[in-house]
Amino acid sequence: MDFRFSEEQEFFRKTIAEIVDKMIVPKAAEIDEKDEFPWELWKEFSKLGYLGLRYPEEYGGMNADKVTTMIFYEEITRGSVGFAQSVIMNMLMGTYFIHRFGTEEMKKRCLIPAIRGEKIATICFTEDQSGSDLAATRTTAVRDGDGWVINGTKMWITNGPICDFCTVLASTDPSKGLKGLNFFLVEKGTPGFSTGQVLNKLGCRGTLTGELIFDNVRVPAENFLGDELGKGVVYVGDILDEVRIMTAAMALGIARAAYDEALEFARKRVAFGNPIGRYQLIRAKFAEMTAEMQAARLLMYHAAWMLDQGIPCRKEAAMAKLYATEVCQKVVDEATRIYGANGFAYEYAPQRHFRDARFVLYGGGTQEVLKDFIGRLIIGKI
Give per-residue pLDDT as tens, 51-86.
999 999 999 999 999 999 999 999 999 999 999 999
Amino acid 135: pLDDT: 86
Amino acid 131: pLDDT: 76
pTM (2 decimals)?
A: 0.96
Instruction: Give ranges for CATH 2.40.110.10 in the chain.
Output: 121-229
Instruction: Give ranges for CATH 1.20.140.10 in the chain.
Output: 233-379
Amino acid 349: pLDDT: 95
Amino acid 58: pLDDT: 96
Whole-Å CA distances, 85 to 42, 62, 185 = 12, 20, 21
Each residue's pLDDT tens digit, 182-198: 999 999 999 999 999 99
Given this structure, which CATH class describes domain 233-379?
Answer: mainly alpha
12 falls in which pLDDT band (50, 70, 90)? very high
Cβ atoms 265, 214 nearer than 8 A: no
Amino acid 151: pLDDT: 98
Closest CA relative to residue 203, chosen from 130, 264, 258, 127: 258
Average pLDDT, the chain: 96
Amino acid 381: pLDDT: 82
The Cα–Cα gap between 76 and 55 comes to: 18
Cβ atoms 325, 367 nearer than 8 A: yes
Q: What percent of the chain has pLDDT over 70?
A: 100
Q: What percent of the chain has pLDDT over 90?
A: 96
Amino acid 247: pLDDT: 98
Domain spanning 121-229 has what CATH number? Answer: 2.40.110.10
Options 3.40.50.460, 3.30.70.100, 1.10.540.10, 2.60.40.10; CATH of 7-116: 1.10.540.10
What is the SS3 assignment for 205?
coil
Q: What is the DSSP letter of 136?
A: G
Instruction: Give ranges for CATH 1.10.540.10 in the chain.
Output: 7-116
The Cα–Cα gap between 274 and 266 comes to: 10
29: exposed, middle or buried (Cβ count in 10 Å: 0-12, 13-18, 19+): middle
| Mean pLDDT, residues 208-222 | 97
